[in-house]
Structure 1
């Protein structure tokens, strides 16, 4: 049955500021945005939400989440479980891209695809990248190019580890061929064809990627190094890549106390990139949610914790409150920029007529209050209304 939601008096950031607007949603899509929309002529079951005094922004597009679990690097007991729907929606994440990470042996792209389809059926929108840290790539079909072309949910390749003790030490030629696979796969399927690179703290940083850009015809837009704020030298190299047209991805959960003494706090990273004149449309952020973090306890033992998706909104909020970067550019880092990078814009990452009705209503303290995904209210008044199939 057709249904409609009317959001009234929204302080709309689409992510560009639109002022006070009403938003009409019908069957999962935005059909009208105007200063006033009269509810009387709407001949459908209608839910009205008053957003007076509140900011309404696009739902977050998180391009790096271990949806089938991550970790395992401290032994089998340290493998994180699959993520639950409400772990994402409570953080305002309405579009997610799943990655495998370190363990391409006991975790498989077929499982990643199944989980992405499950999350989509439960109410958000989920995609995947094929491959993992290591080369040769583990794929669903014979090669990554075929995965991108044939598998609708597969947007590209990743995350391939570089400058990391867990990397398979790929050569420049190997990476160039992988980038070519992604580009051709994307061209033939109408997708972005990106390659996401896990960046460790090794001294080479993203130098190999910059060399490939200098010596090949591959456009920079296909390259997305992530975790670029986990070390100062990575952060500086990333600025150069962004100026060449590549996308650079900040990880939201990184802190000094998490074992990264030379890191840049995510909200500070946004501010520094802006102040240094880096093209902000090339800057994205992701959560690395559901990966595994080993925390050393006072007695010297280690405790394994799954990375929480909540850090994603916390960093957006911190950057908004700091007031250094214009609000629309902060919001774009978490919405329209990753949507563009992965070929999902304008269906995702913005609030416009014909876009998917994915949005967040923030309260007066800029906390996540209400989350709508594909026109369905998933979270309201900070309470999760829709839970995943196996959630309590």
Structure 2
């Protein structure tokens, strides 16, 4: 306790000022008639929030090398960060001491519920996608409440097939808006085709000068919508992203959309075999849902030290490819830390026949990463600490997302509270801001109310 008090003497003015500004801005925005106020007592300003009684997953030491078993801990949130993880026997005295120092404290009981890091989705068409069936088939733009209800607190946006009528400048502005409303956001530049579109004059400049840019993607390979780039074009692009990542302090990654053509990962293997480019700069996606041949390639990719992204199944469409793949790889004792799961949210789901004719069309919802966790635990009896890694720890470490993916002191307070029985969201916190309660979800400014 003495240590905490000394810490507060040093930083309390900053913590209080930061939180007061944050909540003042939030209430000013909420006064707009198109927004919904959070219910009492969440509609007031607090300098500290304490979650009590939960079973906490995602605790690790600062090295992020090992995730501990779930623990019964209380979590203290202050100034957008996890201020402390406390033994429940000490929480009452801690809260009383903070109140004695004049701090406003909100205690929220989450007794016996699951408390875990907020979900990270590395593949979201935040301004919509689609268009494969003409102008009327462009998919809808993402809505804040739907992202939050899906348990998402961090989102990486991207373009897809359409790099003509969908622009990176619009995507960047959208990501800034979602960040303003409580999420953490990044983006990929480019689209399906070569040469890639960028925000500046080059991929390297985008990486160095635009904070939200992690790399390029989703660039299509082995897909009938691809521009079929040559090996030399890809080597140049991957080399550029590697150096751009070095100069910017980012991982520097190309996010590759994989189709179902027979070429599979052949071109990428050739590049790795003929150059000294490290495999970590190449991040293929949709790799679990394009048939057994590509899944076999994914196994080789992981064994070679690469990371790949599985696109979450859509239960309403009776998809099981990713669930089957995860169970298969776990049974083979493959390193699951090299797999991420994303939703492809707001992207189109076109289905083509053997002749290339479009026969059906749908759109991916943003709650599929959460549904993957629910299915792994409730249907396939995975331990929850294993099931959550694909959308928490794994993408945070691979993409070097600072202070994300774990519940560690001084990390961002991106926290998801799930009902212990059905694993449905009860609370969502984004950088300490209350985004969801059991009866309310934050909406964006012009989002229609339910």
TM-score, with normalisation over the residues of structure 1? Answer: 0.93
Contact 1:271 1:324 in 2 (8 A): no
Residue number in structure 2 paired with 1:105: 164
Q: Which digits, 9 at most, give the CA deviation of each residue in 1:128-181, with x for residues without a partner?
A: 011000000111111111101110100111000011000000112211111111
Residues 159 and 382 of structure 1, relative CA distance in 2, 3 Å threshold = farther
| 1:173 correspondence with 2:232 | yes
User: Which residue of structure 1 aligns with residue 295 of structure 2?
Assistant: 235
1:119 maps to which residue? 178
Secondary structure in 2 matching 1:377: strand
Provide, for residues 308-354 of structure 1, a one-character-per-residue CA deviation record: whole Å limited to 9, x for no partner.
01222111111122455443222111101111121104x11111011
Q: Structure 1 residues 14, 295: CA separation in 2 closer, same or farther (over 3 Å shift)? A: same
Corresponding residue number in structure 1 for 2:195:
136
Question: For the Cα contact (< 8 Å) 1:227–1:250, is it kept in 2?
Answer: yes
Given that 1:360 and 1:371 are in contact with CA atoms closer than 8 Å, whether structure 2 keeps it comes out as yes
TM-score in terms of structure 2 length: 0.81
Matches for 1:218-257 after TM superposition, within 5 Å: 218-230=277-289, 231-254=291-314, 257=317
2:314–2:364 CA contact under 8 A, matched in 1: no
Among 65, 74, 77, the residue aligned to 1:25: 77
1:37-116 mapped onto 2 (5 Å cutoff): 37=91, 38-42=94-98, 43-116=102-175
Moved more, 205-214 or 308-317: 205-214
Q: Is the 8 A contact 2:313 2:323 kept in 1?
A: no
Give the SS at the match of 1:47. strand
**What's the secondary structure of 1:378's corresponding residue?**
strand
**Pairwise CA distance, 1:118:** 0.9
Write the distance in 2 (CA, Å) between the matches of 1:323 and 1:10.
23
Unaligned 5+ segments in structure 2 are 1-16, 20-46, 60-66, 353-357
For residues 145 and 195 of structure 1, do their structure 2 counterparts lie closer, same or farther at Cα, with a shift above 3 Å needed? same
| 1:154-169 correspondence runs (5 A) | 154-169=213-228
Runs of 4+ in 1 over 4 A off after TM superposition: 254-258, 301-304
* More helix as a share of residues: 2
CA contact (8 A) 2:342 2:368 kept: no
Counterparts in 2 of 1:324 and 1:274: CA distance versus 1, 3 Å:
farther
2:364 to 288, 307, 317: 307
Check whether the contact 2:163–2:197 (CA below 8 A) recurs between aligned residues.
Answer: yes
Q: Is residue 150–residue 367 contact of structure 2 (8 Å, CA) maintained in 1?
A: yes
Quote the offset at 1:81 in angstroms.
2.4
Q: Which moved more, 1:10-19 or 1:123-132?
A: 10-19
Residue 257 (structure 1) shift: 4.6
Shift of 1:359: 1.0
Q: Distance in 1 between matches of 2:324 and 2:428?
A: 26
Structure 2 residue corresponding to 1:150, chosen from 200, 209, 214: 209
CA distance in 1, matches of 2:113, 2:317: 34
- Measured against aligned partners, the alpha-carbon deviations of 1:247-283 in whole angstroms (never above 9, x if no partner) come to 110101357958xxxx753233222111122211101
Query: Which consecutive residues of structure 1, in runs of 5 or more, have no partner in the other structure?
Result: none
- Count of residue pairs brought into register by the alignment: 382
Could you tell which deviates more after superposition, 357-366 or 31-40?
A: 31-40
SS of match in other structure, 1:40 = helix
Larger strand proportion, structure 1 or 2?
Answer: 1
Whether the 8 Å contact between 2:255 and 2:283 is mirrored in structure 1 is yes
For the aligned residue pairs, the C-alpha RMSD in angstroms reads 1.9
